[in-house]
Structures are given as structure tokens and as C-alpha cells.
């Protein structure tokens, strides 16, 4: 098994490591972008130190997926509330003629494409270590730390870890993904000593993993328990008060743990290169829906005008609230997800045991030895219009059968979302769109949207499958 792991790892590493020519191409793009940003700063009257950061600066990038990050380190004299706006003007000027997408972390930054390479122009403050004015102020210190500590051999181990995480869908700290950042991958490889060692550590993971590379809390480990509550804690070497893994969602951590065990038991290239999902034909999709027991209910509405991180933050918040609403009304949610193509449409998807439930439900009251509680229970339910049967005694306690307000999940959602769903906890940006119109669809009704939107079709095909792509490698 060890030989097979080594064989797969060596093969993949050779494929993802940039060649000399590829390095020269990306270096040229980075230099060109640096010069353009410096020129745009001068024209806009913004004083800034311009430097390439991120995986290109640290030589941990993948040959087919380079991201060039250029940071503008500006004076703290620029007010915090003006930082994003001021630097976005510079970034737009520097990438004129290129496709531009405004992104949002703690503040706005610009994503663009130069020579088909994704580039990011990010503002931060030029501050001393520890005197942080914004989250991105740490990045130059992260770059310096990794460049100092990471050997050539470990750079390759980071590449493997990134490619593996991308393959199983847990890479990326943006809100949409909620996974592992590039910097987190670098720290894990540095701490454990290599790709396979990281996998072995997480394969054994049971409760919490805590890593403090620089020993900020040496002799005071109990402080970490008080400061950080997440199941994965990687103390930032350049900021003792920050957990680098705080963005990692529990589901992504668990998926990574399961995939590490599967790979170590059965090493395969498909963990790094999963097969792309192919949408079911409309006929096959209808057939799958007809064969399923659970109901698929979708709430569809037009795209929210927001940068992706804001959009996904609002989608996830609203999804959690609607999940709670549906469950509180006695509809059992098997699975649910939010979806958006970030261009034209958004969807909330619920897989329910049943879309329609009986009009009455059984409600148990207090046991007979709770005299005062029994009196209150009887006063509440005797002769009330919502009481279908009872109160009656069963197994030593009072019981009633109550009439449900909603017996159809679609009716529940239509009723509670017609005012935007604010009382149901829907985020304001989503509520504004819902007030303008939405569609509640169930099973066969979803096929119209499925047939019109190819991205949604792929998403729903994967949703119906309900299993991670990397299980293909385990199955065969």
C-alpha cells in the first residue's frame, strides 16, 4: 500500500508542479500587473507599496490554477471605510479592458483576468505586526513567514495537499465553500512534515486538532481551549489571537477526514482529479424523481445583486432559517442546500420525507403526578378549536390531538415568504427579491428550471446522487 501511495503521489506531483516555462509566464503576468497597479496608484494619487503575495510569491501554486495576488499596502491615513472604494478605483484602472469581478472579504477587492490568468488586487494597510487595521494586513507577514520556513520539498507537499482538497471539494476559505485556505494548507504541511503525514493525522482525528507551530501558548495550552471553540484550531504564527482554520465548516472538515481515510486505504488519482458531474437528461431526471420516496421542494427567485461572499452569506443564513421554519411545522428535512449561478437565479432546495402530512398530530402533556401542570394543560386545551381529540389519558399522562396549521410544505413556504420572509429570519437582501416574486416548486414542477439552466441541472444531479465524487475511487 505504501508503494502505491508513493506512486500516485509522485505522478500527481509531477503534473501539478510548474515547469520553468510556466513559471516564466506567470512571473511575467505578475510583473506586468505590479507595474500597472503602481502606475494606476500614481495617476489616482494613492501612495502604496505594491507587492505580489499569496501562492505565487510562496511558490506553492498549481501549474493549471495560478492565482496572482497583488497587494496594495497603503497608509493608515486612509480611513477604514474608504479603503475598499479608494483601492477599487486603482484596481479597475490597472485592469482596464479585462473581465472584472468585485469580490468581498472584510472589504472589497477586485478579481480580473490577464492573459487568461486570474489575478486579484487587494488593499491592506502598511502596519507593524500585531497592529492590524484590517484582516488583509496580515497577508504580507504570512508570505514572509512561509517563504522563510517552507523548503522546496515542502512546497511540493503543499501543492499535493491543495490539489487533493480541490479534488474532494474542501479547498477555499470563501463563504460559498467554507473550506481550507491556501495558507492553512501551507501551515499543515509545515507542521506535519508532508502531504501523507497530514492525511494520516486527519484520518486519526477524533475530537479536536490543535496546532500551535510557534508555541504562542506553550505551557498555557488551556488558554487555547478558552479562546478557540472550533474543532480545528491552527494558531496563526504571526497573530496569536487568530485561528487560521476558523472558516472551515464542520461538514468540510468531516468530508476531509473521511476522504483521507479512503485515500490511505485505496490510493487513486481520482481523489485529485474527480470526474466532472454530467447532468441527467430531462427524461432520466423525471424518472429519478418519480422513483424517489422523498419530495424535492424548491424556492426559486431572481439573482441578488451582491458580490459573491455577501450573496452566499445571505443565502446560507436564509437557508438555515427556512430549514428551522419547515422543521417547526412538522415537515422532516432530510437534506437541504442553497444554490445560485451568481448571474441569473437562486434556489433553496429541501428534500422532505413528505411534502404533505396529516391534518392532526399527537401532543403529549404532563404526567398525572404534576398536578399544577395538568391543570394548566387542561385549561389550555379543553374546548379549544385547535383540539381535534382529547384531552385524554394515555400511559399516565394527558394527551391531545391538535390540528396542524399547515399540512402542505409548499403552502407553508408560499404563505411565510410572501412578505419576504423577514419574520422567518430571511436575510434582507434575499427578502427584497422574494417580495418582488418567487416560485415554490415540487418534484415534477422543477423540471422546467432544470431544462433551462445547465448549471442548475448539474447541481441537482449531484444533489440527487447525494454522495461525494471521491467515493467513485473507493467503489471501483
As assigned by CATH, the class of the 2-135 domain is: alpha beta
Q: Report residue 400 as a C-alpha cell.
A: 391531545
Task: Return residue ranges of the chain for CATH 1.10.1410.30.
Answer: 150-271
Residues 180-200, mean pLDDT to the nearest whole number: 96
Long-range contacts of 454-459 (CB under 8 A, 24+ apart): 454/279, 455/341, 456/339, 456/341, 456/345, 456/347, 457/279, 457/280, 457/285, 458/277, 458/278, 458/279, 459/339
Task: Return residue ranges of the chain for CATH 3.30.460.10.
Answer: 2-135
| Percentage of the chain modeled with pLDDT above 90 | 68
Task: Return residue ranges of the chain for CATH 3.30.70.590.
Answer: 282-356+407-475
At 1, the pLDDT band (50, 70, 90 cuts) reads low
Residues 16-21, mean pLDDT to the nearest whole number: 96
Residue with the larger pLDDT of the pair 420 and 107: 420
Fold of 150-271: Poly(a)-polymerase, middle domain (1.10.1410)
DSSP per-residue string spanning 203-223? HT--S-EEE-TT-TTTT-HHH
Q: Give the CATH architecture of domain 360-403.
A: 2-Layer Sandwich (3.30)
C-alpha distances in Å from residue 219, one per residue of 224, 242, 296 = 11, 18, 53
pTM (2 decimals)?
0.90
What number of residues does the chain have? 476
Pick among 2.30.40.10, 3.30.70.590, 3.20.20.70, 3.20.20.370: CATH of 282-356+407-475: 3.30.70.590
Residue with the larger pLDDT of the pair 146 and 288: 146
**pLDDT surpassing 90 at residue 2:** no
Q: What's phi and psi for 99, nearest 5 deg? A: -65, 125
Question: How high is the pLDDT of residue 86?
Answer: 84
Greatest C-alpha distance within the chain: 84
Question: At 241, which helix (H) or strand (E)?
Answer: strand 239-243
- Among candidate residues 149, 152, 177, 148, the one with its CA nearest the CA of residue 165: 177
For 149-173, how does the pLDDT look when each residue is reduced to its tens digit (9 = 90+)?
Answer: 999 999 999 999 999 999 999 999 9
Question: How high is the pLDDT of residue 168?
Answer: 95
**pLDDT surpassing 70 at residue 320:** yes
Q: What angle do CA 22, 104, 346 make, to 5 degrees?
A: 100
Amino acid at each position: 500500500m505504501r508503494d502505491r501511495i508513493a506512486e500516485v503521489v509522485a505522478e500527481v506531483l509531477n503534473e501539478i508542479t510548474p515547469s520553468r516555462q510556466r513559471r516564466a509566464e506567470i512571473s511575467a503576468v505578475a510583473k506586468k500587473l505590479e507595474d500597472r497597479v503602481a502606475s494606476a496608484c500614481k495617476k489616482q494619487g494613492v501612495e502604496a507599496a505594491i507587492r505580489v503575495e499569496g501562492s505565487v510569491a510562496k511558490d506553492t501554486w498549481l501549474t493549471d490554477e495560478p492565482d496572482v495576488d497583488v497587494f496594495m499596502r497603503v497608509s493608515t491615513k486612509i480611513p477604514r471605510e474608504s479603503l475598499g472604494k479608494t483601492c477599487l478605483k486603482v484596481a479597475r484602472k490597472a485592469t482596464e479592458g479585462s473581465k472584472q469581478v468585485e469580490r468581498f472579504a472584510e472589504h472589497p477587492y477586485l478579481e480580473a483576468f490577464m492573459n487568461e490568468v486570474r489575478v486579484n488586487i487587494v488593499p491592506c494597510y502598511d502596519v507593524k505586526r500585531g497592529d492590524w487595521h484590517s484582516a488583509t494586513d496580515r497577508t504580507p507577514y504570512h508570505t514572509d513567514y512561509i517563504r522563510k520556513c517552507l523548503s522546496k520539498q515542502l512546497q511540493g507537499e503543499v501543492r499535493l495537499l491543495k490539489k487533493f482538497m480541490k479534488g474532494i471539494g474542501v479547498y477555499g476559505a470563501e463563504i460559498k465553500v467554507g473550506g481550507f485556505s491556501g495558507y492553512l494548507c501551507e501551515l499543515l504541511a509545515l507542521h506535519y512534515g508532508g502531504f501523507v503525514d497530514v492525511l494520516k493525522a486527519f484520518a486519526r482525528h477524533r475530537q479536536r486538532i490543535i496546532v500551535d507551530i510557534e508555541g504562542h501558548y506553550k505551557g498555557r495550552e488551556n488558554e487555547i481551549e478558552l479562546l478557540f471553540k472550533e474543532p480545528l484550531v491552527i494558531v496563526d504564527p504571526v497573530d496569536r489571537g487568530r485561528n487560521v482554520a476558523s472558516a472551515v465548516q464542520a461538514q468540510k472538515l468531516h468530508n476531509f477526514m473521511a476522504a483521507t481515510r479512503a485515500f490511505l486505504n485505496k490510493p487513486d488519482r481520482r481523489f485529485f482529479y474527480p470526474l466532472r458531474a454530467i447532468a441527467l437528461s430531462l427524461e432520466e431526471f423525471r424518472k429519478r424523481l418519480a422513483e424517489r420516496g422523498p419530495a424535492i421542494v424548491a424556492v426559486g427567485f431572481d439573482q441578488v445583486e451582491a458580490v459573491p461572499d455577501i450573496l452566499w452569506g445571505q443565502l446560507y443564513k436564509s437557508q438555515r432559517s427556512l430549514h428551522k421554519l419547515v422543521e417547526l411545522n412538522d415537515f422532516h428535512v432530510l437534506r437541504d442546500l442553497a444554490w445560485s449561478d451568481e448571474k441569473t437565479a437562486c434556489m433553496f432546495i429541501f428534500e422532505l420525507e413528505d411534502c404533505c402530512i396529516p391534518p392532526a398530530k399527537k401532543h403529549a402533556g404532563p404526567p398525572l403526578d404534576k398536578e399544577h401542570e395538568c391543570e394548566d394543560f387542561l385549561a389550555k386545551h379543553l374546548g379549544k378549536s385547535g383540539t381535534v381529540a382529547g384531552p385524554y389519558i394515555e400511559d399516565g399522562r394527558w394527551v391531545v390531538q391538535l390540528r396542524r396549521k399547515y399540512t402542505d410544505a409548499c403552502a407553508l413556504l408560499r404563505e411565510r415568504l410572501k412578505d419576504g420572509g423577514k419574520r422567518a429570519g430571511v436575510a434582507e437582501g434575499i427578502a427584497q427579491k422574494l417580495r418582488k416574486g418567487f416560485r415554490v416548486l415540487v418534484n415534477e414542477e422543477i423540471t422546467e428550471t432544470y431544462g433551462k439552466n445547465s448549471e442548475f441541472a448539474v447541481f441537482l444531479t449531484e444533489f440527487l446522487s447525494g454522495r461525494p465524487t471521491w467515493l467513485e475511487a473507493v467503489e471501483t
